[in-house]
Structure 1
Amino acid sequence: MKLVGVSGALAGEKTSLAVHDVLIAAKRRDPSITTELIDLREYQVEFSVGQPIALYNDDTMNVVKKIMSADFLVFGTPIYQASISGALKNLLDLLPENAFKYKVTGIIATGWTNKHFLVPEYQLKPVLSYFKGLIPTGNVYIHNNSFNEESDEIINQEVSERIERLAEEMIYLQRGINNR
């Protein structure tokens, strides 16, 4: 199985590192899983204007192909102005309607206030459901205080445990889909 993580942040390290931690946790659970991190900071994904994907630049086409080739995915987003990042929403706008059919789509989000912990639940979850993604129950919200200020690594043990549980649930659900 191939697990692809998407970091929807164009600035900072926290979201990318959190997504990467999910990939590492999944690999620890099942070393046969292949993982790939798509960090949107490293790509020039064009603004979605509703045209066929073949008419977009190479970066845009490559990111969409990587997402479509994944067996399951984890999406990371910072919370800006009580919403998911525009970069992630733009990327999702480029995908076909059944992009995540028979795929588990986990969510991990980072933010400055605990007041935003439901943003992924009310904004990202419906979009992933629209694409026919199966969303785990154990999605993770990480307050910025859970990161080391200098290294941006997660220092909150409870958050690390929730990441481990998310990876475990995603693998369990995807295996169930594959074995149906």
Structure 2
Amino acid sequence: MSVLLIAGSPSERSRTAALLSAAGQRLKFRGAQVETLRVRDLPPQALLLADFGNPAVVRATAQVAAADIVVVATPVYKAAYSGVLKVFLDLLPQTALKGKTVLPLATGGSPHHMLALDYALRPVLQSLGAKNILPGIYATDSQVVVNPEGGYHVDEDIADRLDDAVNTLINDHIAPTLSNAGRFSNVHFSQVRCSV
């Protein structure tokens, strides 16, 4: 199971990055192959001018295509997800998330911006063809504390919600594979041979 973490924060160190890291660590612990794509590291000119042929944009698009699961994290600014994430999502093909499960994460200054996940980000993820969009996890500044050394602490409530989301992702992607292991493939009736 391959997971792509998309960091949609324009800042290198942020509460959004810490929340995304907490999700990624939980997924790695459960055996997922996890990669991180920091949109802020893509060339700004390529993003703003929609340069689909830029090598960095091509690589980023290929990372999205290769992932089974996508975790998207963004800070909320003015009741919407970040502009840097918006320009990246606009560069993706219309079916970039087809067949994928997506977990949206967001951070914001107050609980009043919580609905940005459902009313701003979710419709875009759906328009990109996501098969399943899990309930988003929104954390306020007080729920994700970043210390000056770069470490962070995630509030117990947020940690529990991350654990639940990771369990859902694991159960939806690994459990079905395991339940089919060791079974015979289906045989059409015309291929059945019987001797008495």
Q: Give the TM-score taking structure 1 as reference length.
A: 0.87
Deviation >6 Å, runs of 4+: 176-180
Given the alignment of the two structures, is residue 25 of structure 1 paired with residue 26 of structure 2, yes or no?
yes
Following the alignment from structure 2 to structure 1, what is the Cα–Cα distance between the partners of residues 141 and 93?
33
Correspondent of 1:112 among 109, 114, 121: 109
Q: 1:160-175 to 2 correspondence within 5 Å?
A: 160-175=159-174
Give the RMSD, CA atoms, in angstroms: 2.2
Amino acid at match of 1:21: A
Following the alignment from structure 2 to structure 1, what is the Cα–Cα distance between the partners of residues 92 and 18?
24
Instruction: Name the one with the larger strand percent.
Output: 2
Following the alignment from structure 1 to structure 2, what is the Cα–Cα distance between the partners of residues 37 and 43?
13
CA contact (8 A) 1:154 1:160 kept: no
Unaligned runs of 5+ in 1: none
CA contact (8 A) 1:23 1:167 kept: no
Larger relative contact order (CA 8 Å, sep ≥ 6): 1
What is the aligned partner in structure 2 of residue 100 from structure 1? 97
Following the alignment from structure 2 to structure 1, what is the Cα–Cα distance between the partners of residues 95 and 108?
29
Equivalent pairs counted in the alignment come to 175
CA contact (8 A) 1:103 1:174 kept: no
Following the alignment from structure 2 to structure 1, what is the Cα–Cα distance between the partners of residues 20 and 139?
11
Go from structure 1 to structure 2 and tell me whether the alpha carbon gap of 1:168 and 1:147 turns closer, same or farther (over 3 Å shift).
same
Unaligned runs of 5+ in 2: 181-196
Q: Give the TM-score taking structure 2 as reference length.
A: 0.80
CA contact (8 A) 1:75 1:107 kept: yes
Structure with higher Rg: it is 2
What is the aligned partner in structure 1 of residue 126 from structure 2? 129
Greater Cα offset, 134-143 or 93-102: 134-143
CA contact (8 A) 2:64 2:97 kept: no
Q: How many Å apart are 1:134 and its aligned residue? A: 3.0
